[in-house]
Each structure stands twice: as structure tokens, then as C-alpha cells.
């Protein structure tokens, strides 16, 4: 029996053994907010209620009811899903342990903090406390009516509530509330970058690791959120315009009707292959007594800089765009890519430029990647490069450049290039089904199996293998940063990771070997920057 008293009452966890043989204490399914049901649907999370006696913490709480976009299925869950999990190697250490809080990805529409995907076994070996949690997803997490009842960003406010819970309780698990690192991937990475500027998050963490997603990614901010809400309401049978009636309509709608809610509001969205997310973070309007998670223009907030004295590590996988290519069909190539120049227009240009400019940009982009050739099976790999820049890499490097101009704490930039049997996403996505890919790829989310024990994947673990050596390197870099603010504080990894500056543009390539390099994706980034400087100069910082 392992007991810990938190603010709301006593918890009983359990001692478990990691896949590497380390014993640690596990506490699962801890409520960090009241169930957001009934009148609390769409509202900011409320503090959890205390309980009497001892509450069991050996099982995960329910996941959020959701649509799994990877496997195109509904995953049964509950709206009562605001639960947090704490894994600690030592409840009473000689000095408080550093804490790493993971924010899961999944396009703001799927995922959870459960250990079937985010097992803490590798990271906990490094004497770090690991925290994971669920937050509300898709419509219940990100519906916005631009009204006091539904101002938006409920899912992000859930994340803030989880961080506040950590600040208030982590010392009871042996953790240091003054040494918290938040980290996340994809939508989780974008979430981390939002926390770096959100007034609600200030003071809740010391360091941040941003993986494969930033606030300036085109998919990370919802376009015209009220119009999206009206489009969804119309499909579900409501045609009125009264704010209170609309709120009541959504509040009474069964949760099953509020998942997989993909209702385009423009013709371009309906045809786009750019991976548009329909419900994500919004620019919140100000109402009386309403704490806003995020407001204003993304690029203005980037120019203003992040919270003072926070250290940042940030990066991306070598072939992020595999994700988009894998969801295409041969007909998409014939009927979209080879037919419409808009297929090669970055979303940032689509949203800010007239159609004549869009066509010029599309022609330039298509020529840059394909010359005069049509897209076909033999050259479709180039679409990986295009989507990588469009949806991830350009925005990440732009964010790094903006951050570096305005902060004394220079970021650590990486490109993730590990290749082994652990590259689960590359296997699942399998872009070679219609594109002739001559080389192995490192897809979006291929970094996760080197950080977490993904039980669902049932991956072999040979401690004498090259892949295990890469696990050791990756987890050491991540936990060194969490402990010291420096991923290579000594020479134990055989490399010195130099922070990024505008002059030198240093980054670390993380593969079978750790290699310092300069100017990541230099040619592509320079081309994209020249195009955007011509057509959307006000959005370049």
C-alpha cells in the first residue's frame, strides 16, 4: 500500500516495476477538476471536490469520448475525463525531484495521458517524476460561440488546471514545484508554445520542450470559430441565431454527436489536403470576470516574447509531412494536386492573399518541388517535403528565430532522425502504398517511442540494440534539460549541444549518432521565407 495525501484527500497508489526493472510508485486516475458535465460543459474547469477516506489510484480515469483520426474510429469514453497520473521513483527523496508534465497530441481531437501509449518507464529511470493527464477534446474542449457562456479554449484551461494541480500537490510525491518542465508533441507541442505566452500559465513551469507543433502552425488556431459552431449546429438541426438558444442546443446535444465534427466553412477547406483542424485554440473575446487563455494575434504575441526566464528546447522530425501524404489517395493526385495550383499554396497565404497572388505562389511552389513534371507515384515523395514545411518545419524555425531575437535564454533546436524498428508511425502511415519512397523516413510522432514505453505497439526491447542506445540518448537529453536547463551539461553523450543563435543557427541532429550542425533545412526555409516575405511580409517577425 502506497499512500499520499493531496489537497482533496488521501490516495492509494501502487509500486510497479518498469520494463527495465526499476521500481516506482504509480498513482493513476486522480481528479484534477470537477467532471465538466451538465451545466459545466464548455465551461472553464472547476476545482475538484474533496473526498472522504482513501481513494484508489491504481486505474486510469475514463478517456475523453473521441474520434481517433489515425484509425478512423470512435473511441468510447466519457465527458467525465479530467484525470491526472503521477509516476515517481521516490516519494521521499533526499532533495525534491524535477518534474516533467506531458501534454499529449492528437490534433486536439484524440488521445489521452494513459500509459498504454505514454508509459513512463524510460524517463523514470533518470530520477524524474512524470505526470500525464487528459484534457477535453474537439467540440467539448474547443467550441467557441464568442459569448460569455462559451468563450472557447476550455481544453486549454483544463491544461492550466492540471498544471496548477501539479504546483499545489507534486511535493507530496517527492517533486519540486519550482522545477517543472512541460513538454508535448504535435497538438501537445502547440499547446506548450501557447502556455509560453498565456497569462493563465505564467509561473506554472520553469522549462518547456516543444515537439513538432507551434502556436503559429496554421492548424493550431481555429479560423472563424463561431462560423464553425454555426455550421455544426446547422448539420445537427439548429437553424436559429439566438446566442442563448444556441448554447442550450449544444449543451443538450449527446456527446456522440459532438465527435468527428468536420464541417468545412469554405469550399477550399472542403477540398484541402492540408490537415485542417476544425476545433482548436481561439482568440478569446473579453467578457466580465472571464480569464482568457489566449487572445490577440498569434504573430503579435510571438513578437512580444515568452514568459520571462523560461528555457526552451524545440524541434521536429526529419519527415513530418509523411503524415499528410499517407492519408492521400491516387485520385487526390490526379484530381487535386495536378489540377489546382491552390494545392501548393501554404495555408498562411490562402488566408491572407487574393486569388491572383495565390495562383502565383502555387505556380512557384509547384515549380520549386516538381519543375514542369506532374505529380505521380515516382516523384510524390516531394510532397513530404512540401507538407513538412507547410505544416511544421517552417513555422518551428520561424518561431525559433522570433524567440531568439527577443530572449536572453537561447533555445535548443533539434532535428529528430532516429531510424529503427521503433519508428511506429512510419510503419502505420506507410506512404509507399502509392508513392515510390526510396529511403526510410522519420515521420511525425516517430520520436515518441524513444521517450515512452508504448504498450499498444508491443515493441521489442533489446538492451544491447542500437534502438535502445537511441532511447538512452533521447531520454538523457530530455531529462538533462529538465534537470539543468542544458541537455548536455557534461561530455557523457560525446557532444555539446550549442544553443541556437541567429548568427550561427546551431542545432542537434538526433539519430543513431548525435551530431551538431548549422542552418537546418536551409535551402527550403530560405525559399519559403522569400515567398512569404513577398506576399505576407507582415506575418514574418
pLDDT of residue 434: 62
pLDDT of residue 290: 87
pLDDT of residue 324: 84
Task: Work out the percent of the chain whose per-residue pLDDT is above 90.
Answer: 84
Average pLDDT on 307-328 reads 92
pLDDT of residue 429: 83
Average pLDDT on 234-251 reads 93
Q: State CA 341 to chain mean position distance.
A: 30
Q: Is-contact 416 447, C-beta < 8 A? A: yes
pLDDT one-digit tens code per residue, 520-530: 999 999 999 99
Residue 249 has pLDDT above 80, yes or no: yes
How far apart CA 299 and CA 217 sit, in angstroms, is 11
For 379-390, the three-class secondary structure string (H helix, E strand, C coil) is CCHHHHHHHHHH
Residue 111 φ then ψ, to 5°: 105, 170
pLDDT one-digit tens code per residue, 457-489: 999 999 999 999 999 999 999 999 999 999 999
Q: State CA 168 to chain mean position distance.
A: 24
Tell me: domain 316-539, CATH 3.40.50.1820, correct? yes
Residue 53 has pLDDT above 80, yes or no: yes
129 DSSP β-pair partners: 99
How far apart CA 111 and CA 122 sit, in angstroms, is 20
Q: Is-contact 60 49, C-beta < 8 A? A: no
pLDDT of residue 533: 95
Contacts of 158 (CB under 8 A, 6+ apart): 33, 36, 45, 82, 134, 135, 136, 141
How far apart CA 100 and CA 88 sit, in angstroms, is 11
Average pLDDT on 278-290 reads 93
State the catalytic residue, choosing from 26, 198, 444, 509.
444
State the catalytic residue, choosing from 125, 138, 284, 320.
320
| Band of pLDDT at residue 104, cut at 50, 70 and 90 | very high
Average pLDDT on 515-541 reads 94
pLDDT of residue 433: 62
pLDDT of residue 22: 96
pLDDT one-digit tens code per residue, 198-220: 999 999 999 999 999 999 999 99
Give the torsion sign (CA, 154, 229, 109, 191).
Answer: negative
320 is catalytic: yes
State the catalytic residue, choosing from 186, 191, 217, 420.
186
Domain ranges of the chain: 2-223+279-307, 316-539
pLDDT of residue 273: 67
The CA-based dihedral angle spanning residues 540, 323, 263, 219, taken in that order and rounded to the nearest 10 degrees = -20
Q: Please give the CATH architecture assigned to the domain spanning 2-223+279-307.
A: 3-Layer(aba) Sandwich (3.40)
Which cell numbers hold the place of 523?
535551402
pLDDT of residue 305: 94
Residue 541 has pLDDT above 80, yes or no: no
Mean pLDDT of the chain: 94
pLDDT one-digit tens code per residue, 409-465: 899 999 999 999 999 999 888 766 667 777 889 999 999 999 999 999 999 999 999
How far apart CA 326 and CA 332 sit, in angstroms, is 11
Residue 292 has pLDDT above 70, yes or no: yes
Q: State CA 527 to chain mean position distance.
A: 26
| Band of pLDDT at residue 536, cut at 50, 70 and 90 | very high
How far apart CA 146 and CA 343 sit, in angstroms, is 31
pLDDT of residue 323: 85
Amino acid at each position: 500500500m502506497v499512500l499520499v495525501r493531496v489537497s482533496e484527500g488521501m490516495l492509494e497508489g501502487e509500486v510497479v516495476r518498469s520494463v527495465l526493472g526499476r521500481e516506482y510508485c504509480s498513482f493513476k486516475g486522480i481528479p484534477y477538476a470537477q467532471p465538466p458535465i451538465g451545466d459545466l460543459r464548455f465551461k472553464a474547469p472547476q476545482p475538484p471536490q474533496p473526498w472522504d477516506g482513501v481513494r484508489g489510484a491504481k486505474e486510469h480515469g475514463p478517456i475523453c469520448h473521441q474520434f481517433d483520426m489515425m484509425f478512423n474510429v470512435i473511441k468510447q469514453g466519457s465527458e467525465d475525463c479530467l484525470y491526472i497520473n503521477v509516476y515517481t521513483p521516490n516519494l521521499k527523496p533526499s532533495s525534491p525531484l524535477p518534474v516533467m508534465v506531458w501534454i499529449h497530441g492528437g490534433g486536439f481531437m484524440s488521445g489521452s495521458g494513459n500509459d498504454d501509449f505514454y508509459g513512463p518507464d524510460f524517463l523514470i529511470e533518470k530520477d524524474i517524476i512524470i505526470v500525464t493527464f487528459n484534457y477535453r477534446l474537439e467540440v467539448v474542449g474547443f467550441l467557441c460561440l464568442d459569448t460569455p457562456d462559451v468563450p472557447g479554449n476550455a481544453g486549454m484551461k483544463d491544461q492550466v488546471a492540471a498544471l496548477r494541480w501539479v504546483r499545489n500537490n507534486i511535493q507530496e510525491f517527492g517533486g519540486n514545484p519550482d522545477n517543472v518542465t512541460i513538454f508535448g508533441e504535435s497538438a501537445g507541442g502547440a499547446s506548450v508554445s501557447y502556455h509560453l505566452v498565456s497569462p493563465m500559465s505564467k509561473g506554472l513551469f520553469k522549462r518547456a520542450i516543444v515537439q513538432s507543433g507551434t502556436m503559429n502552425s496554421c492548424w493550431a488556431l481555429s479560423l472563424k470559430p463561431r462560423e464553425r459552431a454555426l455550421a455544426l449546429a446547422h448539420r445537427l438541426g439548429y437553424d436559429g441565431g439566438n446566442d442563448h438558444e444556441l448554447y442550450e442546443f449544444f449543451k443538450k446535444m449527446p456527446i456522440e454527436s459532438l465527435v468527428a465534427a468536420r464541417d468545412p466553412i469554405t469550399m477550399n477547406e472542403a477540398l484541402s489536403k492540408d490537415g485542417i483542424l476544425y476545433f482548436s485554440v481561439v482568440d478569446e473575446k473579453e467578457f466580465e470576470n472571464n480569464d482568457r487563455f489566449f487572445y490577440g494575434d498569434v504573430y503579435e504575441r510571438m513578437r512580444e516574447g515568452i514568459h520571462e526566464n523560461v528555457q526552451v528546447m524545440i524541434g521536429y522530425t526529419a519527415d513530418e509531412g509523411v503524415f499528410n501524404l499517407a492519408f492521400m489517395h491516387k485520385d487526390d493526385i490526379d484530381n487535386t494536386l495536378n489540377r489546382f495550383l491552390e494545392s501548393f499554396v501554404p495555408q498562411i497565404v490562402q488566408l491572407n492573399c487574393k486569388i491572383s497572388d495565390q495562383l502565383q505562389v502555387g505556380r512557384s511552389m509547384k515549380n520549386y518541388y516538381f519543375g514542369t513534371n506532374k505529380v505521380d507515384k515516382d516523384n510524390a515523395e516531394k510532397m513530404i517535403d512540401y507538407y513538412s514545411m507547410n505544416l511544421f518545419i517552417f513555422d518551428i524555425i520561424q518561431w525559433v528565430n522570433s524567440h531568439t531575437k527577443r530572449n536572453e535564454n537561447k533555445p535548443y533546436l533539434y532535428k529528430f532522425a532516429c531510424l529503427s524498428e521503433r519508428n511506429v508511425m512510419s510503419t502505420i502511415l506507410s506512404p509507399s502504398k502509392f508513392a515510390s519512397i526510396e529511403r526510410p523516413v522519420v515521420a511525425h510522432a516517430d520520436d515518441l517511442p524513444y521517450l515512452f514505453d508504448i504498450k499498444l505497439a508491443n515493441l521489442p526491447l533489446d538492451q544491447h540494440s542500437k534502438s535502445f542506445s537511441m532511447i538512452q540518448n533521447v531520454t538523457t537529453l530530455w531529462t538533462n534539460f529538465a534537470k539543468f536547463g542544458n541537455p548536455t551539461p557534461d561530455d557523457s553523450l560525446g557532444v555539446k549541444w550549442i544553443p541556437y543563435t541567429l548568427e550561427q543557427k546551431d542545432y542537434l541532429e538526433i539519430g543513431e549518432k548525435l551530431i551538431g550542425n548549422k542552418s537546418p533545412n536551409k535551402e527550403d526555409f530560405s525559399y519559403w521565407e522569400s515567398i512569404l516575405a513577398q506576399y505576407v511580409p507582415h506575418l514574418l517577425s
